[in-house]
Amino acid sequence: MGRYFGTDGVRGLANVDVTAELALDLSVAAAHVLGDAGAFSGHRPRAVVGRDPRASGEFLSAAVVAGLASAGVDVSDVGVLPTPGIAHVVAATGADLGVVLSASHNPVPDNGIKFFARGGHKLPDEVEDAIEGRLREPWARPTGAGVGRVTADAGAGARYVDHLLATLPHRLDGLRVVVDCAHGAAWSVGPEALRRAGADVVVMGAEPDGLNTNDGVGSTHLEPLQRAVVEHRADAGIAFDGDADRCLAVDAAGRVVDGDQIMGVLALALAERGQLPGSVLVATVMSNLGLLLAMRAAGVEVLQTAVGDRYVLEAMREGGYALGGEQSGHVVMLEHQTTGDGVLTALHLLARVAEVGRPLAEVASVVQRLPQVLVNVPRVDKSRASSDEHVSAAVAAASAELGETGRVLLRPSGTEPLVRVMVEAGDEAQARAVADRLAGVVGERLAL
Catalytic residue among 27, 104, 188, 287: 104
CB 347 within 8 A of CB 314: no
399 belongs to the catalytic site: no
H, E, C per residue of the chain: CCCCEEECEEEEEECCCECHHHHHHHHHHHHHHHHHCCCCCCCCCEEEEEECCCCHHHHHHHHHHHHHHHCCCEEEEEEECCHHHHHHHHHHHCCCEEEEECCCCCCCCEEEEEEEECCCCECCHHHHHHHHHCCCCCCCCCCHHHCCCEEECCCHHHHHHHHHHHCCCCCCCCCEEEEECCCCCCCCHHHHHHHHCCCEEEEECCCCCCCCCCCCCCCCCCHHHHHHHHHCCCCEEEEECCCCCCEEEEECCCCEECHHHHHHHHHHHHHHCCCCHHHEEEEECCCCHHHHHHHHHCCCEEEEECCCHHHHHHHHHHHCCCEEECCCCCEEECCCCCCCCHHHHHHHHHHHHHHHCCCHHHHHCCCCCCCEEEEEEECECHHHCCCCHHHHHHHHHHHHHHHHHCEEEEEECCCCCEEEEEEECCCHHHHHHHHHHHHHHHHHHCEC
Write the Ramachandran bin of 244: left for phi over 0, alpha for psi from -120 to 50, otherwise beta: left
Active site residues: 104
